């Protein structure tokens, strides 16, 4: 499996991918999933992939060679939208060539792609391409895409990233998102590829491969964990059975009348112990000290 995330901001683009692939618990491999297609001064494009590795590699190779009926390729098309269409065509061609044979062996044609960058004369653009070769584009209302194990790293991005976020803050947020995924899913792993592109540079601005010795990423992992724990410990404990006039952050008030849904026990089965009355947490604590 994998996790990749890309963000389109007013200031440029951020791409981050892991490099874990596995075919079983005892068969773990490292394959880089971020590829750059660049003609400095004219265009800079990035492709990140998740899914079947053989399919992804076939698509990447075909994309670098494929030409449209009018002779254009991703190296010459005038817009990133047209480049995304060529990528979609490459996906469909690989599907046509490989899908039936894979299906005969019980293997699904599975690939997800994030593709973005900038071509001279237009703004930065970001696309997500699906297994059928169709795609969608990121806009201000949804300024990022994720593929692979997306759920663990999504909350921090939703809370932090907007089109006006700086590239450094977006890169920091992407790394926190990746750290959350690494901690919760063993199928995602180091090293990571992080690429940051500043709008109108038309060449890669910053790139780094991050392993477990990277000091900044280790700082992110340790500091974020400590800060989360501090915030958690600073939250007030819930108050139970509070009087209706009790001020503050009351979880449960005596006048709510809320009750659980209880399933009726079989006839003749009488309770051996009466249910204890509900208590406030403070009462429980006090009683435990007697």
Tens digits of residue pLDDT in 151-169? 999 999 999 999 999 999 9
What DSSP designation does 135 have? E
Distances (CA, A) of 130 to 9, 105, 170: 22, 22, 25
Contact (Cβ atoms closer than 8 angstroms) between residue 55 and residue 111: yes
pLDDT for 286 equals 46
The residues, ordered by sequence, that sit 6+ positions from 43 with a Cβ below 8 Å of its Cβ are 37, 75, 117, 118, 119, 120, 202
Distance, in Å, from the CA atom of 49 to the CA atom of 34, rounded to the nearest integer, reads 7
pLDDT for 186 equals 86
Burial 245-272 (b: 16+ CB within 10 A, else e): eeeeeeeebeeeeeeeeeeeeeeeeeee
Residue 36's pLDDT band (cuts 50, 70, 90): very high
Reported pTM = 0.88
Residue 126's pLDDT band (cuts 50, 70, 90): very high
Distance, in Å, from the CA atom of 169 to the CA atom of 82, rounded to the nearest integer, reads 30
The residues, ordered by sequence, that sit 6+ positions from 246 with a Cβ below 8 Å of its Cβ are 239, 253
Residue 257's pLDDT band (cuts 50, 70, 90): confident
Distance, in Å, from the CA atom of 220 to the CA atom of 176, rounded to the nearest integer, reads 7
Asked if residue 23 has pLDDT above 60, the reply is no
Q: 76-90, 143-157, 263-277: which range is least confident on average?
A: 263-277
Residue 23 CB neighbour total at 10 angstroms: 9
Residue 192: exposure state from Cβ atoms within 10 A (0-12, 13-18, ≥19): buried
* Beta strand ranges found along the chain (DSSP E): 3-9, 12-17, 20-22, 28-30, 34-39, 43-51, 111-119, 125-129, 135-137, 144-148, 192-198, 206-210
Asked if residue 269 has pLDDT above 90, the reply is no
- The mean pLDDT value of the chain amounts to 91
The residues, ordered by sequence, that sit 6+ positions from 225 with a Cβ below 8 Å of its Cβ are none
Q: Rounded mean pLDDT of 79-106?
A: 97
Strand 34-39 versus strand 43-51 pairing type: antiparallel
Q: Rounded mean pLDDT of 43-52?
A: 97
Q: Is 60 helix (H, G, I), strand (E, B) or coil?
A: helix
Tens-digit pLDDT profile for residues 168-221: 999 999 999 999 999 999 889 999 999 999 999 999 999 999 999 999 999 999
Higher pLDDT, 250 or 207: 207
Distance, in Å, from the CA atom of 184 to the CA atom of 83, rounded to the nearest integer, reads 35
Q: Is 260 helix (H, G, I), strand (E, B) or coil?
A: coil
pLDDT for 259 equals 87
Q: Rounded mean pLDDT of 104-130?
A: 97
Distance, in Å, from the CA atom of 175 to the CA atom of 153, rounded to the nearest integer, reads 9
Higher pLDDT, 47 or 26: 47
Q: Rounded mean pLDDT of 108-137?
A: 98
Q: Rounded mean pLDDT of 126-145?
A: 97
248 φ/ψ angles, rounded to the nearest 5 degrees: 100, -165
Asked if residue 24 has pLDDT above 70, the reply is no
Residue 63's pLDDT band (cuts 50, 70, 90): very high
Q: Does the domain formed by 3-213 have CATH 3.30.950.10?
A: no
Higher pLDDT, 126 or 247: 126
Distance, in Å, from the CA atom of 17 to the CA atom of 145, rounded to the nearest integer, reads 12
Residue 245's pLDDT band (cuts 50, 70, 90): confident
Q: Rounded mean pLDDT of 74-86?
A: 98
């Amino acid at each position: 499996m994998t996790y990749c995330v890309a963000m389109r901001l007013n200031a440029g683009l951020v791409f981050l991918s892991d490099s874990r692939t596995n075919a079983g618990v005892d068969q773990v491999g490292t394959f880089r999933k971020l590829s750059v297609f660049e003609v400095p001064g004219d265009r800079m494009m990035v492709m990140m992939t998740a899914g079947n590795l053989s399919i992804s590699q076939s698509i990447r190779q075909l994309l670098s060679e494929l030409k449209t009926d009018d002779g254009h390729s991703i190296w010459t098309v005038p817009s990133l939208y047209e480049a995304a269409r060529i990528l979609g065509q490459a996906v469909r061609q690989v599907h046509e060539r490989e899908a039936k044979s894979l299906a005969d062996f019980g293997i699904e044609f599975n690939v997800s792609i994030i593709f973005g960058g900038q071509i001279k004369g237009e703004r930065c653009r970001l696309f997500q391409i699906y297994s059928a070769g169709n795609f969608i584009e990121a806009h201000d209302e949804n300024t990022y895409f994720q593929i692979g194990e997306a759920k663990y790293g999504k909350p921090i991005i939703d809370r932090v990233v907007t089109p006006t976020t700086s590239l450094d803050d977006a890169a920091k947020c992407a790394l926190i998102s990746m750290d959350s995924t690494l901690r919760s899913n063993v199928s995602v792993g180091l090293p990571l590829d992080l690429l940051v592109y500043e709008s109108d540079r038309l060449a890669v601005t910053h790139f780094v491969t991050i392993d477990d010795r990277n000091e900044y990423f280790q700082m992110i992992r340790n500091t974020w964990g400590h800060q989360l724990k501090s915030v958690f410990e600073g939250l007030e404990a819930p108050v139970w059975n509070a009087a209706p006039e009790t001020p503050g952050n009351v979880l449960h008030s005596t006048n709510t009348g809320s009750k659980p849904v209880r399933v009726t026990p079989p006839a003749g089965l009488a309770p051996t112990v009466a249910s204890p009355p509900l208590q406030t947490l403070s009462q429980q604590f006090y009683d435990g000290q007697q």
